A and B are shown apart, each in its own frame.
Chain A
Amino acid sequence: MSLVSVLIPVTMLLVGFGLWAFFWAVRSGQFDDLDVPGWEILIDERSDAAPDAEPDESA
């Protein structure tokens, strides 16, 4: 009994944290687009990282 009375509030806290994290993720748009972000990590950001990137920003 004593163990349960401690463990259950702990699980409640964990569940509460999980929910909070999920709400945060939904609100910040993590679930809005499930296609593009998966691709983005495959593409090198060379133009921003490398110093020898192109000089002109003519647009």
Chain B
Amino acid sequence: MAQTAAGCFHCGEPLESSGKPAREPLLIRIQGADVAVCCPGCRAAVQFIGELGLEDFYRFRSVMSPKPTEASLWSAYDDPALLDACTREGPQGRSVVLMIDGMTCAACSWLVSRSLEHMAGVRRVSVNTATGRAQIEWDGATVKLSELLGVIASLGYQPQIAAAENDAARGLNERRGLLKRLAVAGLGMMQVMMFAVAMYAGDLQGMEADVRTYLRIVSMLVATPVMLYGGWPYFMGAARALAGRTITMDVPVALGLVLAYSASVFNTWRHAGEVYFDSVTMFIFFLTVARYVEMVARHRSTQVSDALGRMLPATAHRLSGGGPGAPFTDVAVSQIVAGDTLLVRTGEVVPADGDLTQGSTEFDESMLTGESLPVARTLGDRVTGGTINVSAPVQMRVTAAGRGTVLASIVALLTRAQSERPRITRAGDRFSSRFLARVLIGAVLVCGFWSIAEPSRAFDATLAVLVVACPCAFSLATLVAVASANAALARRGVLVASPDAIEGLAKVTYVVFDKTGTLTDGMVALARCIPVGAYGVAECLQIAAALEVGSEHPIARAFTDAEPNREGLQAREIQVVPGGGVSGIINGKRFKIGTRAFAGSAPVVPAAPSEETDDAAIFLSSEEGVLATFAVADEPRPESAGMVAALRGQGLEIEISSGDSAVAVRRVAHHCGVRNFSARRSPAQKLERVRALASRGEFVAMVGDGVNDAPVLGGAGVSIAMSRGSALTLASADLILIGDSLTALPGAFSVARRATRVIRQNLLWAAGYNLTAMPLAAMGWVPPWAAAIGMSMSSIVVVLNSLRLIRSGRPRSSPGRAPLPPSFVPVMPPRAAAILQSPAP
């Protein structure tokens, strides 16, 4: 009972906002204590977890649990044809791979796997938090797939059959393969290095010939598996490049490796000359490390398209047969085709794109547009898959399902964007490919010159040129610096979602903020109440609150929060009109609250000053006329003003561009000390503004949370999203501020600027090294072992220089745990916004 003031024990939502007239909290007994929960769904989840003896989950979870959905009907998945399509029948029984949404911490995955293992007929469960996937093997005769899905759903997670199982398996295989190659190259390099040091010492102090031969043979034995196994990807890459008549970095790498290795084997065999096994193994090891770093970054990005794919529900209600009177049956979402008629109940997610054929309602489109308030749609309007029906059941005719939907095209766009490498690395690649072609030509010239001048030195000089010229430091120069900067930013609470983010962030001269949800916390609160009728402020508020109890609309919450003690005022016959407002009877009188058109109709409102009569105003009226107008607003975040001051201290220009009314924007702008602001901006106008700034030569950073921001984020030079933003906003953002706080922003800019400075130093160093060493090598003054050491040292200097970034990124006083496990890092830059503008609903 002590915690009625706190949130729900299971999902953490405020207990007051459940919107039910009955005020006594729902209680459930777990571990000998009564805890309060917000809804029957959460109570069922807690009870279920308690029955299984898994209460420890609540001790170890690091985030609040997702709210369980109304018992979805999973029986559609017992259809034999569908079952065969999405599961595999093996000797161990059936197996299926599920993507489980909402499984964000280790305790979650533990809970899921333990609850499934408790079921009879389940043979094996393996859950991976990093990929959000669960593989289940079960006895198809004992337990049905729908029951498994039902159990997961009853815990509050959203299961979904994973279609892209192959991608996950491929990623896993690549990771495992590269790890093994890394181990072979690393261990092999260490061994060969030890022998090499012994041989160098022998060169100085003298060494018996047979010991030297022995060491050479051992070095060869160790270097051979490194060469064949660790070097395999580079040989294949070089072969592919040559087959495609291009030169990639793999070509000189493979050429140098083959030359150095075969010369060493030859020299070992004839007991004379130099061996370069140390150079060969070290070279392969460094290259493999670079490749591993790149792979990790690439894999993280693929997780977003999964997340977007999960926005569709698992099942849908389809009108079976022809006639309009026919019953609705539940089908899996993959079975829907264009032309089907679907029923979308209140609170359900629209399973496909289509047109409304019956009823009118409001949709929460925040998933796609970021608009936080629901949008009214009526007969004939287009609805988009992934949006949520908030007010009334409707029927829709499907125009596109599955791969044809807007959502699917966004995912496709994302996937394509993910295959792109950072601009800055691409520039490096272009440079090195031109550079490499010249190196190869140079090596041939050097070889030709020395063959004529002094044949005995030709091989050493040519090899030295190839090894010295390896653009290893070049490729590491940006890669390692960017990776270190990413790590430093993650420590501060900023996730880097796009490979180009750091480069962009450092160039920023102008920062444009959205207001709602960015500079403010996005929670609507009641700002003003202006009574114009017979009732006073307190009475008006109480009437409003009594009416709004019946509505789930976000604005309704502002009233119920502002006026919790309603002295027993009870509204009867509450009617919610989508897009209008609420009406109800209190003490025998009918009251209306809502938009001007709905509630403010009859007599024109007099008193309100002009700038305050914007359409965010809410009207309360009785049968006699308007009683009061309300204005709702959101409060600035506590850290906003300090953050703006810090950014200005770094020489950045600040501007607020908001879709909200002028009054609200001015209030926040004054609070934060921002002089430039504009109100009532549509997404298109915001985008225009950003483009205008860009054409003026400013490099613009856009900070938004998703309220109409997705297209603007896509159009800005660098885009930053709040972690609470819509999925699409997150997807189109280059950086994501986790922890839903702005405090990390100024630090992020300075880390990025330091990172570009480090990259410039690295490139300068690599270029300087290559330019000085190359002529020396061509002159034959550099023995290959020195070339190999020089090459490695130049790479190591670059790596160490870059690692300074991580150390300097001291975490700010972040209370509690680290932001997020790295496995949670989503995204890459989709620029998906463009697609949003086309299907204007």
Contacts and interface: CB of A to CB of B under 8 A. Distances in A.
Contacts of A32: 128, 130, 172, 175-176
B106 A19 contact: no
B210 A57 contact: no
Contacts of B679: none
B127 A36 contact: yes
Contacts of B184: 19
A11 to B, nearest CB: 7
Interface string A24-59: 001100011111101110111011000001101111
B390 to A, nearest CB: 32
Nearest to A9: B218
Interface stretch (B48-56, B306-314, B505-513, B622-630): B48-56
B120 A57 contact: yes
Contact of B191 (A5, A15, A42, A53): A15
Contacts of A43: 56-57, 60, 107, 110
A57 B821 CA distance: 33
A8 B219 CA distance: 10
A26 B178 CA distance: 10
Contacts of A4: 211, 214
Nearest to B188: A15
A41 B187 CA distance: 31
Contacts of B210: 1
Contact of A59 (B110, B119, B821): B119
Contact of B218 (A12, A19, A35): A12
Contact of B110 (A1, A18, A23, A36): A36
Contacts of A22: 180, 183
B208 interface: yes
Contacts of A12: 191, 218, 221-222
A22 B175 CA distance: 14
A36 B52 contact: no
B56 A46 contact: yes
A23 to B, nearest CB: 6
A30 B217 CA distance: 35
B151 interface: yes
Q: How large is the interface on A (under 10, 10 to 19, 20 to 34, 35 or more residues)?
A: 20 to 34
Interface in B218-252: 218, 221-222
Contacts of A5: 214
B60 A18 contact: no
Contact of B118 (A36, A38, A39, A59): A59
A43 B119 CA distance: 20
Contacts of A57: 118-120
B331 to A, nearest CB: 25
Contacts of B119: 57, 59
A28 B211 CA distance: 41
Interface in B154-204: 172, 175-176, 179-180, 183-184, 187, 191
Nearest to B221: A12
Given A39-B107, A39-B110, A31 B179 contact: yes
Contact of B52 (A15, A26, A39, A47): A47
B180 A26 contact: yes
B650 interface: no
Contacts of B341: none
Interface in B92-148: 106-107, 109-110, 114-115, 118-120, 127-130, 147
Nearest to A21: B183
Contacts of A23: 180, 183
Given A4-B214, A46-B56, A59-B119, A33 B130 contact: yes
B358 to A, nearest CB: 38
A18 B191 CA distance: 13
A49 B54 CA distance: 12
By CB atoms of chain B within 10 A, which of A1, A31, A43 has the most?
Answer: A43
A40 B110 contact: yes
A34 B176 CA distance: 13
B601 interface: no
B682 interface: no
A26 B175 CA distance: 9
Contacts of B51: 54, 56, 58
Contacts of A56: 51
By CB atoms of chain B within 10 A, which of A4, A5, A31, A39 has the most?
Answer: A39
A4 B198 CA distance: 11
Contact of B129 (A1, A15, A36, A53): A36
A53 B187 CA distance: 49
B823 interface: yes
A38 B106 contact: yes
Contacts of A44: 56
Contacts of A15: 187, 191, 222
Interface string B615-649: 00000000000000000000000000000000000
A19 B187 contact: yes
Contacts of B211: 1, 4
A26 B179 contact: yes
Given A19-B187, A47-B54, A58-B51, A27 B176 contact: yes
A53 B214 contact: no
By CB atoms of chain A within 10 A, which of B53, B110, B130, B821 has the most?
Answer: B53
Nearest to A57: B118
A19 B183 contact: yes
Nearest to A31: B179
Given A15-B187, A31-B176, A59-B118, A53 B53 contact: yes
Contacts of B60: 39, 42-43
Interface string B484-499: 0000000000000000
A15 to B, nearest CB: 6
B202 to A, nearest CB: 12
A33 B824 CA distance: 12
A40 to B, nearest CB: 6
A59 B151 contact: yes
B825 to A, nearest CB: 12
A33 to B, nearest CB: 5
B55 to A, nearest CB: 9
Contacts of A26: 176, 179-180, 183
A54 B53 contact: yes
B208 A11 contact: no
A57 to B, nearest CB: 6
B108 to A, nearest CB: 9
B545 to A, nearest CB: 42
A46 B115 CA distance: 14
By CB atoms of chain A within 10 A, which of B115, B180, B823 has the most?
Answer: B180
A59 to B, nearest CB: 4
A35 B106 contact: yes
The 8 closest A-B pairs by CB, nearest first: A47-B53, A39-B106, A59-B119, A36-B106, A22-B183, A43-B56, A26-B176, A33-B128
Interface of A: 1, 4-5, 8, 11-12, 15, 18-19, 22-23, 26-27, 31-36, 38-40, 42-44, 46-47, 53-54, 56-59
8 contacts: A4-B214, A11-B191, A15-B222, A18-B187, A33-B129, A36-B128, A56-B51, A57-B119
Given A11-B191, A46-B53, 13 more contacts: A8-B218, A12-B191, A19-B184, A23-B183, A26-B183, A32-B172, A33-B128, A36-B110, A36-B129, A39-B110, A43-B107, A54-B51, A59-B119
Interface of B: 51-54, 56-57, 60, 106-107, 109-110, 114-115, 118-120, 127-130, 147, 151, 172, 175-176, 179-180, 183-184, 187, 191, 208, 210-211, 214, 218, 221-222, 821, 823
